[in-house]
Amino acid sequence: MEQLTVARSYATALFELGERTGDHEAFTRAFASVNALIESDPRIRTFLRSPQIEVAEKKRVLAEAFGERLPHLFLNFLMVVLDKRRQRMLRSISGEYDRLLDEHLGRVNVAVTLARDPDAAALTEITARLTALLQKSVIAHVRVDPEILGGIIVRYGDNVMDGSLRRKLLHLRGRMLLTPLTETTTRQ
């Protein structure tokens, strides 16, 4: 929990800087570049995380690698992250920054689980209905899980809306098991 709080603090500072300068889009692209580099090469990840390598050396390498490709303010932000030895948290800081930006822009990321892949029309319909229901612009992240049998499961924030056929069948089964049996047969 403490790491999430620290990541949120760094993200908030960068977000406020983005508000003042109007560089949110540039900062988002910069985070994507840095995250892609770190994820693509384990040697770079090890280099950045290693306590045996001096911070000054890490800063020099990042400045050479990204100097012209990243906004100056974002590069300064990275240097502060390195100075404070928080480079292991870059992925979390990036996620928190994206969350703050989505909130600011009235967007919500929604996990949508379906029994099968939706076609383009179905996905558009799902997104439109969720946008109307949540009164925010929905970014749908679709996952396919055949075990739900049919219907839809929607997760956003701490909320879950389970409209799956599997849940409905389990609910029906539970009600049937609790219903007392009565003898209604007639004998002739």
pLDDT at 56 over 70: yes
Domain locations in the chain?
2-103, 107-178
SS (H, E, C) 124-174: HHHHHHHHHHHCCEEEEEEEECHHHCCEEEEEECCEEEEEEHHHHHHHHHH
> In this predicted model, what pLDDT tens digit does every residue of 6-29 receive, in sequence order?
999 999 999 999 999 998 999 999
pLDDT at 153 over 60: yes
Q: Does domain 2-103 have CATH number 2.40.30.20?
A: no
What CATH number matches the domain at 107-178, 3.30.499, 2.70.98, 1.20.950, 3.40.30?
A: 3.40.30
State how far the Cα of 75 lies from the Cα of 71, in Å rounded to an integer: 6
> In this predicted model, what pLDDT tens digit does every residue of 82-130 receive, in sequence order?
999 999 999 999 999 999 999 999 999 999 999 999 999 999 999 999 9
State how far the Cα of 131 lies from the Cα of 90, in Å rounded to an integer: 30
Contact 38, 45 (CB under 8 A): yes
Contact 114, 123 (CB under 8 A): no
Task: Write down the pLDDT at residue 28.
Answer: 94
